[in-house]
Amino acid sequence: MEPKTQTEIREQQFLAELEQLRQENQRLRQINQDLRISLLTTAEHGDTIEAELHETNLKLKAEVVERIRAESTLQALVEMILQQKDDLEKIVQTIMEHGDVLDVQWENKLLEVSHLANCDSLTHIANRRRFDEYLDQQWQQMGRSRLPLSMILCDVDHFKRYNDTYGHLQGDRCLQKITQALSRQLNRTTDLLARYGGEEFAVVLPQTALAGALQVAEKLRTTIRHLQIPHIQSETDSVITISLGVACVVPILHTPSAVLVEQADRALYLAKQHGKDQVMVLPEAERLSV
Protein backbone atom coordinates (compact mmCIF):
# COMPACT_ATOMS: atom_id res chain seq x y z
CA MET A 1 0.00 0.00 0.00
CA GLU A 2 1.23 3.36 -1.00
CA PRO A 3 2.12 5.43 2.03
CA LYS A 4 -0.11 8.32 2.73
CA THR A 5 1.17 11.59 1.93
CA GLN A 6 1.58 14.24 4.45
CA THR A 7 -1.35 16.11 3.00
CA GLU A 8 -3.58 13.11 3.27
CA ILE A 9 -2.67 12.65 6.87
CA ARG A 10 -3.42 16.22 7.54
CA GLU A 11 -6.71 15.95 5.75
CA GLN A 12 -7.65 12.93 7.76
CA GLN A 13 -6.77 14.69 10.95
CA PHE A 14 -8.75 17.68 9.84
CA LEU A 15 -11.75 15.54 9.08
CA ALA A 16 -11.48 13.84 12.41
CA GLU A 17 -11.30 17.17 14.18
CA LEU A 18 -14.21 18.38 12.14
CA GLU A 19 -16.20 15.37 13.11
CA GLN A 20 -15.26 15.94 16.70
CA LEU A 21 -16.30 19.58 16.50
CA ARG A 22 -19.53 18.64 14.79
CA GLN A 23 -20.30 16.24 17.57
CA GLU A 24 -19.34 18.85 20.13
CA ASN A 25 -21.57 21.33 18.37
CA GLN A 26 -24.36 18.79 18.36
CA ARG A 27 -23.89 18.17 22.08
CA LEU A 28 -23.81 21.86 22.90
CA ARG A 29 -26.90 22.43 20.81
CA GLN A 30 -28.61 19.68 22.71
CA ILE A 31 -27.51 21.22 26.02
CA ASN A 32 -28.65 24.62 24.83
CA GLN A 33 -32.03 23.24 23.90
CA ASP A 34 -32.31 21.44 27.23
CA LEU A 35 -31.40 24.63 29.05
CA ARG A 36 -33.96 26.60 27.09
CA ILE A 37 -36.63 24.05 27.97
CA SER A 38 -35.47 24.03 31.54
CA LEU A 39 -35.49 27.85 31.70
CA LEU A 40 -38.92 28.00 30.14
CA THR A 41 -40.21 25.36 32.48
CA THR A 42 -38.70 27.17 35.48
CA ALA A 43 -40.09 30.50 34.34
CA GLU A 44 -43.52 29.04 33.79
CA HIS A 45 -43.33 27.27 37.12
CA GLY A 46 -42.29 30.55 38.80
CA ASP A 47 -45.20 32.36 37.17
CA THR A 48 -47.62 29.75 38.41
CA ILE A 49 -46.22 29.86 41.92
CA GLU A 50 -46.22 33.66 41.84
CA ALA A 51 -49.85 33.67 40.72
CA GLU A 52 -50.71 31.19 43.40
CA LEU A 53 -48.87 33.25 46.02
CA HIS A 54 -50.60 36.38 44.85
CA GLU A 55 -53.96 34.71 45.09
CA THR A 56 -53.15 33.30 48.54
CA ASN A 57 -51.93 36.72 49.63
CA LEU A 58 -55.16 38.34 48.49
CA LYS A 59 -57.14 35.70 50.29
CA LEU A 60 -55.10 36.19 53.47
CA LYS A 61 -55.51 39.97 53.27
CA ALA A 62 -59.25 39.55 52.90
CA GLU A 63 -59.23 37.12 55.78
CA VAL A 64 -57.26 39.53 57.97
CA VAL A 65 -59.73 42.34 57.18
CA GLU A 66 -62.60 39.99 57.99
CA ARG A 67 -60.94 38.92 61.23
CA ILE A 68 -60.30 42.53 62.29
CA ARG A 69 -63.93 43.32 61.54
CA ALA A 70 -65.13 40.25 63.47
CA GLU A 71 -62.79 41.08 66.32
CA SER A 72 -64.09 44.62 66.48
CA THR A 73 -67.71 43.33 66.42
CA LEU A 74 -66.81 40.85 69.14
CA GLN A 75 -65.11 43.58 71.16
CA ALA A 76 -68.22 45.78 70.85
CA LEU A 77 -70.35 42.80 71.87
CA VAL A 78 -68.12 42.08 74.85
CA GLU A 79 -68.27 45.74 75.89
CA MET A 80 -72.06 45.72 75.54
CA ILE A 81 -72.35 42.53 77.60
CA LEU A 82 -69.99 43.94 80.23
CA GLN A 83 -72.05 47.14 80.38
CA GLN A 84 -75.24 45.09 80.70
CA LYS A 85 -73.63 42.95 83.40
CA ASP A 86 -72.54 46.07 85.23
CA ASP A 87 -76.04 47.58 84.90
CA LEU A 88 -77.66 44.36 86.10
CA GLU A 89 -75.36 44.16 89.11
CA LYS A 90 -76.21 47.74 90.01
CA ILE A 91 -79.93 47.13 89.46
CA VAL A 92 -79.85 43.97 91.62
CA GLN A 93 -78.02 45.88 94.34
CA THR A 94 -80.48 48.78 94.05
CA ILE A 95 -83.47 46.43 94.33
CA MET A 96 -81.91 44.56 97.24
CA GLU A 97 -81.07 47.69 99.20
CA HIS A 98 -84.46 49.13 98.29
CA GLY A 99 -86.10 46.04 99.82
CA ASP A 100 -84.07 46.46 102.99
CA VAL A 101 -84.85 50.15 103.32
CA LEU A 102 -88.56 49.43 102.71
CA ASP A 103 -88.47 46.98 105.61
CA VAL A 104 -87.11 49.72 107.86
CA GLN A 105 -89.68 52.18 106.48
CA TRP A 106 -92.56 49.77 107.24
CA GLU A 107 -91.16 49.05 110.70
CA ASN A 108 -90.95 52.78 111.49
CA LYS A 109 -94.51 53.19 110.23
CA LEU A 110 -95.62 50.31 112.43
CA LEU A 111 -93.91 51.82 115.48
CA GLU A 112 -95.50 55.19 114.71
CA VAL A 113 -98.97 53.66 114.32
CA SER A 114 -98.50 51.52 117.40
CA HIS A 115 -97.40 54.61 119.36
CA LEU A 116 -100.43 56.54 118.09
CA ALA A 117 -102.70 53.65 119.04
CA ASN A 118 -101.37 53.67 122.59
CA CYS A 119 -100.86 57.37 123.14
CA ASP A 120 -103.25 60.10 124.25
CA SER A 121 -103.06 62.88 121.68
CA LEU A 122 -103.49 65.77 124.14
CA THR A 123 -101.19 64.75 126.97
CA HIS A 124 -98.86 62.37 125.08
CA ILE A 125 -99.03 59.78 127.86
CA ALA A 126 -100.57 56.29 127.61
CA ASN A 127 -104.24 56.24 126.66
CA ARG A 128 -107.04 54.12 128.08
CA ARG A 129 -106.35 51.33 125.59
CA ARG A 130 -102.72 51.08 126.69
CA PHE A 131 -103.74 51.28 130.34
CA ASP A 132 -106.13 48.32 129.99
CA GLU A 133 -103.51 46.30 128.14
CA TYR A 134 -100.76 47.09 130.66
CA LEU A 135 -102.97 46.43 133.65
CA ASP A 136 -103.92 42.99 132.27
CA GLN A 137 -100.29 42.23 131.57
CA GLN A 138 -99.15 43.21 135.06
CA TRP A 139 -102.16 41.42 136.59
CA GLN A 140 -100.94 38.17 135.04
CA GLN A 141 -97.31 38.80 135.90
CA MET A 142 -97.92 39.79 139.55
CA GLY A 143 -100.42 36.93 139.88
CA ARG A 144 -97.78 34.43 138.74
CA SER A 145 -95.11 35.94 141.01
CA ARG A 146 -97.51 36.41 143.95
CA LEU A 147 -96.54 40.08 144.23
CA PRO A 148 -98.80 43.05 145.06
CA LEU A 149 -100.17 45.23 142.28
CA SER A 150 -101.40 48.73 143.12
CA MET A 151 -103.24 51.34 141.16
CA ILE A 152 -104.21 54.93 141.73
CA LEU A 153 -107.15 56.58 140.09
CA CYS A 154 -107.17 60.37 140.28
CA ASP A 155 -109.59 63.01 139.17
CA VAL A 156 -109.12 66.79 138.86
CA ASP A 157 -111.48 68.49 141.30
CA HIS A 158 -114.16 70.74 139.83
CA PHE A 159 -112.70 70.52 136.39
CA LYS A 160 -116.00 71.20 134.62
CA ARG A 161 -116.14 74.52 136.42
CA TYR A 162 -112.52 75.18 135.42
CA ASN A 163 -113.43 74.67 131.76
CA ASP A 164 -116.52 76.83 132.12
CA THR A 165 -114.48 79.59 133.75
CA TYR A 166 -111.27 79.57 131.76
CA GLY A 167 -112.38 77.95 128.50
CA HIS A 168 -111.57 74.57 127.00
CA LEU A 169 -108.20 75.59 125.58
CA GLN A 170 -107.02 76.65 129.02
CA GLY A 171 -108.56 73.42 130.33
CA ASP A 172 -106.41 71.44 127.88
CA ARG A 173 -103.30 73.34 128.94
CA CYS A 174 -104.16 72.65 132.59
CA LEU A 175 -104.40 68.90 131.87
CA GLN A 176 -101.03 69.02 130.11
CA LYS A 177 -99.40 70.73 133.11
CA ILE A 178 -100.93 68.17 135.47
CA THR A 179 -99.69 65.32 133.27
CA GLN A 180 -96.14 66.66 133.22
CA ALA A 181 -96.12 67.12 136.98
CA LEU A 182 -97.50 63.62 137.64
CA SER A 183 -95.02 62.05 135.20
CA ARG A 184 -92.09 63.66 136.99
CA GLN A 185 -93.09 61.92 140.23
CA LEU A 186 -93.09 58.41 138.75
CA ASN A 187 -89.51 57.24 138.41
CA ARG A 188 -89.70 53.48 137.97
CA THR A 189 -89.83 52.26 134.38
CA THR A 190 -92.55 49.79 135.33
CA ASP A 191 -94.88 52.52 136.64
CA LEU A 192 -97.44 53.59 134.07
CA LEU A 193 -99.33 56.87 134.03
CA ALA A 194 -102.33 56.92 131.70
CA ARG A 195 -105.12 59.30 130.83
CA TYR A 196 -108.11 57.28 131.96
CA GLY A 197 -110.87 59.62 130.89
CA GLY A 198 -111.53 63.36 130.42
CA GLU A 199 -109.88 64.68 133.58
CA GLU A 200 -109.14 61.28 135.12
CA PHE A 201 -105.68 59.77 135.33
CA ALA A 202 -104.66 56.26 136.34
CA VAL A 203 -101.35 54.98 137.65
CA VAL A 204 -100.32 51.31 137.60
CA LEU A 205 -97.71 50.43 140.23
CA PRO A 206 -96.41 46.84 139.88
CA GLN A 207 -94.65 45.22 142.87
CA THR A 208 -96.03 47.90 145.17
CA ALA A 209 -97.82 47.25 148.45
CA LEU A 210 -100.64 49.46 149.71
CA ALA A 211 -98.39 51.57 151.97
CA GLY A 212 -96.09 52.41 149.07
CA ALA A 213 -99.01 53.20 146.78
CA LEU A 214 -100.51 55.54 149.42
CA GLN A 215 -97.16 57.35 149.66
CA VAL A 216 -96.99 57.80 145.89
CA ALA A 217 -100.62 59.02 145.82
CA GLU A 218 -99.95 61.57 148.54
CA LYS A 219 -96.88 62.80 146.68
CA LEU A 220 -98.98 63.20 143.52
CA ARG A 221 -101.66 65.13 145.40
CA THR A 222 -99.19 67.63 146.93
CA THR A 223 -97.36 68.01 143.64
CA ILE A 224 -100.52 69.16 141.87
CA ARG A 225 -101.47 71.47 144.71
CA HIS A 226 -97.96 73.02 144.57
CA LEU A 227 -98.42 73.77 140.88
CA GLN A 228 -100.63 76.64 142.13
CA ILE A 229 -102.82 76.66 139.03
CA PRO A 230 -105.50 79.24 139.85
CA HIS A 231 -109.08 77.97 140.03
CA ILE A 232 -111.32 80.72 141.37
CA GLN A 233 -114.51 78.71 140.97
CA SER A 234 -113.24 75.69 142.94
CA GLU A 235 -115.22 74.90 146.07
CA THR A 236 -112.20 73.10 147.52
CA ASP A 237 -109.47 75.70 147.21
CA SER A 238 -108.36 78.62 145.05
CA VAL A 239 -106.01 76.38 143.08
CA ILE A 240 -106.33 73.15 141.09
CA THR A 241 -106.42 70.04 143.32
CA ILE A 242 -106.90 66.35 142.68
CA SER A 243 -108.65 63.53 144.53
CA LEU A 244 -107.14 60.07 144.52
CA GLY A 245 -108.40 56.56 145.15
CA VAL A 246 -105.87 53.81 145.85
CA ALA A 247 -106.29 50.05 145.59
CA CYS A 248 -103.88 47.16 146.02
CA VAL A 249 -104.08 43.40 145.56
CA VAL A 250 -102.03 40.32 144.91
CA PRO A 251 -103.83 39.24 141.74
CA ILE A 252 -105.48 35.87 141.51
CA LEU A 253 -104.88 34.39 138.08
CA HIS A 254 -107.90 33.85 135.84
CA THR A 255 -109.88 36.57 137.60
CA PRO A 256 -110.53 39.88 135.82
CA SER A 257 -108.23 42.83 136.50
CA ALA A 258 -111.30 45.08 136.45
CA VAL A 259 -111.82 44.37 140.17
CA LEU A 260 -108.74 46.46 140.97
CA VAL A 261 -110.08 49.37 138.89
CA GLU A 262 -113.44 49.03 140.58
CA GLN A 263 -111.80 49.22 144.05
CA ALA A 264 -109.74 52.29 143.08
CA ASP A 265 -112.82 53.91 141.59
CA ARG A 266 -114.81 53.36 144.77
CA ALA A 267 -111.91 54.77 146.84
CA LEU A 268 -111.84 57.82 144.55
CA TYR A 269 -115.56 58.26 145.11
CA LEU A 270 -114.91 58.24 148.84
CA ALA A 271 -112.19 60.91 148.42
CA LYS A 272 -114.64 63.06 146.50
CA GLN A 273 -117.33 62.53 149.14
CA HIS A 274 -114.97 63.43 151.95
CA GLY A 275 -114.22 66.86 150.55
CA LYS A 276 -111.80 66.23 147.64
CA ASP A 277 -108.05 67.09 147.52
CA GLN A 278 -107.22 63.89 149.40
CA VAL A 279 -106.10 60.30 149.05
CA MET A 280 -108.51 57.52 150.06
CA VAL A 281 -108.47 53.77 150.20
CA LEU A 282 -111.49 51.55 150.86
CA PRO A 283 -112.06 50.45 154.47
CA GLU A 284 -110.25 47.18 155.16
CA ALA A 285 -113.46 45.18 155.23
CA GLU A 286 -114.31 46.22 151.69
CA ARG A 287 -110.86 45.59 150.23
CA LEU A 288 -110.01 42.55 148.18
CA SER A 289 -108.18 39.92 150.17
CA VAL A 290 -104.41 40.21 149.68
Q: Answer yes or no whether residue 30 interacts with another protein by CB under 8 A.
A: no
Site string for another protein, 131-160 (x = CB under 8 A): ------------------------------
CB of 251 to another protein, least distance (A): 42
Cα–Cα distance measured from residue 216 to residue 201, given in angstroms and rounded to the nearest whole number: 14
Q: State the greatest distance between any 2 C-alpha atoms of the chain, in Å, as a whole number.
A: 201
Contact flag: residue 110 with another protein (CB under 8 A): no
Residues 260, 264, 267, 269: is their CA dihedral positive or negative? negative
Rg (CA), the chain: 60
- In the complex, the smallest distance separating the C-beta of residue 99 from another protein, rounded to whole angstroms, is 5
Q: Which stretch binds another protein (CB under 8 A): 102-110, 129-137, 236-244, 258-266?
A: 102-110
Of 11-19, 58-66, 93-101, 218-226: span binding another protein (CB under 8 A): 93-101
Helix (H, G, I), strand (E, B), or coil: what is residue 199?
coil
What is the Cα–Cα distance from 257 to 262, expressed in whole angstroms? 9
38 binds another protein (CB under 8 A): no
Asked if residue 32 binds another protein (CB under 8 A), the reply is: no
Nearer to another protein, 68 or 91 (CB): 91
Contacts of another protein in 59-88 (CB under 8 A): 87
Q: Write the single-letter amino acid at 115.
A: H
Distance CA 223, CA 277 (A): 11
Pick the closer one to another protein by CB: 98 or 168: 98
Q: Which of 13, 56, 108, 215 binds another protein (CB under 8 A)?
A: 108
Q: Which of 95, 110, 111, 117 touches another protein by CB under 8 A?
A: 95
Residue 104 or residue 169: which is nearer to another protein going by CB?
104
DSSP 239: B
Residue 101 Cβ vs another protein, minimum distance, rounded to whole Å: 4
> Whose CA is closest to 259, among 143, 162, 161, 93?
143
Q: Between residues 56 and 93, which has the closer beta carbon with respect to another protein?
A: 93
Contact at 8 Å (CB) between 225 and 159?
no
61 membership: H or E segment, kind and range: helix 6-118
Query: How far is the C-alpha of 41 from the C-alpha of 129, rounded, in Å?
Result: 117
- The single residue among 85, 90, 168, 274 that binds another protein, judged by CB under 8 A, is 90
Q: Are 207 and 147 in contact (CB under 8 A)?
A: yes
Closest CA to 267 of 237, 244, 239, 290: 244
Task: Out of 62, 65, 76, 102, point to the residue binding another protein (CB under 8 A).
Answer: 102
Which region holds residue 277: left if phi is over 0, alpha if psi is between -120 and 50, else beta?
left
CB of 119 to another protein, least distance (A): 21
Give the nearest distance from C-beta 288 to another protein in angstroms: 49
Binding site for another protein (CB under 8 A): 87, 90-91, 93-95, 97-99, 101-102, 104-105, 108
